[in-house]
Amino acid sequence: MADCLFCKIIAGEIPSKKVYEDEYCYAFEDIAPVAPVHVLFVPKKHISSAAELDGENSAVVAKIYEAIARVAAEMKLDGGWRVVTNCGPDAGQTVLHLHFHLIGGRPLGVMVSEK
């Protein structure tokens, strides 16, 4: 998609620190990490958000979760880790290309801390 930040990162038009790549997904370090490990996993095919998932495109989510589990193991996040997907403005989604935050490397506290 022409004006999508993550599509440009996948295409190599904008630099990123690659962590993992396969046929279905690309993973790179978040530019503003909230924990020692903060990696973004994105489908190579543009999907705007989790709200756009359906029977035609959702298989990529399973592939991405497989990749997340593999990277978490490689990074030795043995104490646990969290995956977050923000969807829409109330959740604070800022980039309209589906992505999964893998966060870990320290105790992460409660999942939702603000009211």
Tell the burial category of 44 from Cβ atoms under 10 Å away from its Cβ (0-12, 13-18, 19+). Answer: middle
**Residue 48 engages ligand AMP in binding (rule: CB under 6 A):** no
46 binding partner (options Zn ion, ligand AMP, none; Cβ < 5 to 8 Å by kind): Zn ion
**Residue 89 engages ligand AMP in binding (rule: CB under 6 A):** no
| Residue type (1 letter), 70 | R
Tell the burial category of 111 from Cβ atoms under 10 Å away from its Cβ (0-12, 13-18, 19+). Answer: exposed
Catalytic residues, which ones?
99
Q: How far is the CB of 39 from ligand AMP (least distance, A)?
A: 10
List of residues contacting ligand AMP (CB under 6 A) = 5, 14, 16, 30-32, 40, 86, 92-95
